[in-house]
Amino acid sequence: MSGKEALRGSVLAVTRRYAAGIDVSERAVRVAVVSRRLRANGPVCVEHLESVPLEAGAVINGDFIDRHAVAAALREAFGRLPARGTWRALRCAIGLPASATLMTRVPISRLIEAHESATGGRDPLGLLEPAVLAEAERAAGIERAALAVDWSVEPQDDGCAQVSIAATARQHVESRVETAAMAGISLSAIDGEPAAALRAMRHAGTIEIDSRDHYIACWADGTGLYAWLVGEDGVENELRYPAPEYSSVMDALRDLVGEKGPPDWVFIGGDVDLLTRAGCTPAQLAEILRCPVLPFECAPFCNGASAIDETLRHSPRFAVAFGLALREVMQ
């Protein structure tokens, strides 16, 4: 690389943040490279998309059965990326399947009471972490030493904050860190796949629909359907299907909407073919919910990146990879 090219790469690295989202499913490894200017409200750009198939049995129910096969697919995917100096320090985030993750929300008052009871009130700073770990241990049924736990405090309109807790067996985190390292990749974050898919579809919603509209975001994978009702103030309701209380996908989505009436839009991402096999095609969704149905796609964010394969640009299966990278460039 010439001195001029090196200088240009250094300047770009300062003015833009680059990140890669890694989605490892049972069928393929998908990578989305995203960038964003380091200024307020800077647009997000998809720089590159890659998909490398995996042999059957390499990943089962979120477990990396054949780490060497997964690492080889990761090496191939990243090996296809253009050799740019600005991409040498990519922030890389990988997904964790919902089947391996426990998600729960607890009123902060309950955790404080439990913590004060356990400490006899001898904690003037009111540190919540021990109470969070105890709650994660209780909910997961796994000793806290074997858990990886992430949590955050979420304010509510009624003033009663909730603590959102995500926990998974530490072995799932370790397998991803170690497999990425085998491929020469250093991970900066691990995030739940449903959360990443929702983040991607909500970001797409900011440019596709009016901010005052209500819409349903649906994401499908091998474990089922995840759906959220999103309004002007954020997520208003959510569900997971299959569930004992629902006889069909449409029954679940009607319950999600409740008394609000038909949504203005429906976004669908992930393995849309699974919805079709469940008797719920996009056309049927549009007819029954009486609103347009939009597939998630990265195309609106490619911004002239002509080297990206047209099929990948429009694939709804990149919702997770895009959402993972989005988290890293928005921080």
Q: How far is CA 163 from CA 40, 80, 97, 130, in A?
A: 28, 41, 21, 13
- Tell me the pairing of strands 234-241 and 265-270: unpaired
Q: What is the mean pLDDT of residues 20-36?
A: 95
Q: What is the mean pLDDT of residues 78-96?
A: 83
pTM greater than 0.75 (yes/no): yes
The pLDDT score that the predictor gives to residue 155 is 74
Confidence band of 230 (pLDDT split at 50, 70, 90)? very high
Q: What is the mean pLDDT of residues 97-119?
A: 76
The pLDDT score that the predictor gives to residue 163 is 84
Give Cα 41 distance to the centre of its chain. 21
Q: What element of type H or E holds 51?
A: strand 44-53
| Mean of all residue pLDDT scores within the chain | 85
Q: What is the mean pLDDT of residues 60-65?
A: 92
Q: What is the mean pLDDT of residues 289-306?
A: 87
Q: What is the mean pLDDT of residues 222-226?
A: 90
Q: Quote the CA–CA distance of 12 and 110 in Å, as a whole number.
A: 48
The pLDDT score that the predictor gives to residue 116 is 57
Confidence band of 291 (pLDDT split at 50, 70, 90)? very high
Domain range annotation of the chain: 3-99+172-195+300-330, 100-167, 210-296
pLDDT digit string, tens, across residues 129-173? 888 888 888 888 888 888 888 887 777 666 677 888 888 888 999
- CA atoms within 13 A of residue 215's CA, in its CB half-sphere: 23
Are 93 and 19 in contact by the 8 Å Cβ rule? The answer is yes
More reliable by pLDDT, 331 or 329: 329
Confidence band of 241 (pLDDT split at 50, 70, 90)? very high
Q: Which CATH number fits domain 3-99+172-195+300-330: 3.30.420.40, 3.40.47.10, 3.30.565.10, 2.70.98.10?
A: 3.30.420.40
Are 164 and 70 in contact by the 8 Å Cβ rule? The answer is no
Q: What is the mean pLDDT of residues 261-289?
A: 88
- Lowest-confidence region among 26-30, 31-35, 40-44, 240-244: 40-44
Tell me the DSSP string of 215-228. EEEEEEETTEEEEE
Three-state secondary structure call for residue 310: helix
More reliable by pLDDT, 32 or 107: 32
Q: Quote the CA–CA distance of 213 and 211 in Å, as a whole number.
A: 6
Residue with tokens 């200024």: 39
Q: What is the mean pLDDT of residues 15-38?
A: 92
C-beta atoms surrounding 73 within 10 Å? 25
The residue among 23, 18, 59, 70 whose CA lies nearest residue 191 is: 23
Confidence band of 304 (pLDDT split at 50, 70, 90)? low
Specify the CATH number of the domain 210-296.
3.30.420.40
- Tell me the pairing of strands 91-96 and 16-24: parallel
Q: What element of type H or E holds 295?
A: strand 293-295
Q: What is the mean pLDDT of residues 288-299?
A: 92
The pLDDT score that the predictor gives to residue 159 is 67
Confidence band of 233 (pLDDT split at 50, 70, 90)? confident
Are 326 and 200 in contact by the 8 Å Cβ rule? The answer is yes
Are domains 3-99+172-195+300-330 and 210-296 of this chain identical in fold?
A: yes
